[in-house]
């Protein structure tokens, strides 16, 4: 999905603006007592950074939907499309870029939002118990891919900018999760997985699999 997106993600503009204004006011009133607020503003700036990425591959390439570390690569049940699938999970800590990108070229066929808990997103049970938002993507080659945004221990806000009928380009921004989280991708059993457990990946530019 295309929308204005400079170096700082638009989801962070209100937080960064409020922190900078508060720091300026406190500095004017109390001088160096503003230092902690400036540090908070710097943390917000790094959290909401959203650098441009070079998108590799072609329509059969699956790229990482987020920055972080691969915490799951396994064959399991896709709870949304009711099929056996390969699951690849990316865990994001608070120092990763939290903008979420489409793993494939395709159309959003369906979306599911589920309320839930806020367990540590690195835990396997977070996939089914935490607050989450799932997208069913039908790729241009006809494959079905499920991409699930999952809230974490600190995360309290999942943002998704797309709806059924929208078309996404591989590596295109579609959402954001605030303050630590996870993204699961369910792939067809025929997919050739390139990512391995423990790999550090970048959203949009690291290849997870080939369809």
Return the active site residues.
181
Helix H segments across the chain?
13-30, 35-47, 126-129
Q: Are the C-beta atoms of 135 and 128 separated by less than 8 Å? A: no
The candidate with the shortest Cα–Cα distance to 173, out of 159, 187, 191, 157, is: 159
Question: Tokens in use for 48?
Answer: 């909401």
Calpha distance 65→99 (Å, rounded): 8
Query: Phi then psi for 25, rounded to 5 degrees?
Result: -65, -45
Question: Tokens in use for 132?
Answer: 């989450």
The distance between the two most distant Cα atoms of the chain, rounded to a whole number of Å, is 63
Question: How many other CB atoms are found less than 10 A from the CB of residue 24?
Answer: 14
Residue carrying structure tokens 């790094």:
46
Question: How many other CB atoms are found less than 10 A from the CB of residue 67?
Answer: 25
């Amino acid at each position: 999905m295309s929308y204005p997106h400079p170096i700082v993600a638009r989801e962070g503009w209100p937080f960064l603006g409020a922190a900078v204004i508060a720091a300026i006011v406190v500095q004017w009133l109390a001088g160096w007592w503003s230092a902690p607020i400036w540090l908070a503003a710097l943390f917000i700036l790094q959290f909401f950074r959203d650098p441009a990425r070079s998108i590799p591959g072609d329509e059969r390439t699956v790229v990482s939907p987020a920055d972080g570390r691969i915490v799951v690569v396994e064959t399991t049940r896709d709870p949304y499309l009711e099929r056996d699938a390969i699951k690849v999970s990316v865990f994001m800590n608070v120092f990763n870029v939290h903008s979420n990108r489409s793993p494939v070229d395709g159309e959003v066929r369906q979306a599911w939002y589920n309320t839930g808990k806020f367990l540590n997103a690195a835990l396997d049970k977070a996939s089914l118990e935490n607050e989450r938002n799932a997208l069913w993507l039908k790729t241009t080659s006809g494959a079905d891919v499920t991409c699930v945004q999952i809230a974490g221990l600190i995360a309290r806000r999942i943002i998704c900018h797309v709806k059924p009928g929208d078309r996404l380009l591989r590596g295109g921004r579609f959402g954001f999760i605030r303050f630590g989280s996870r993204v699961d991708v369910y792939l067809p059993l025929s997919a050739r997985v390139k990512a391995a457990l423990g790999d550090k990946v970048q959203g949009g530019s690291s290849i997870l699999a080939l369809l």
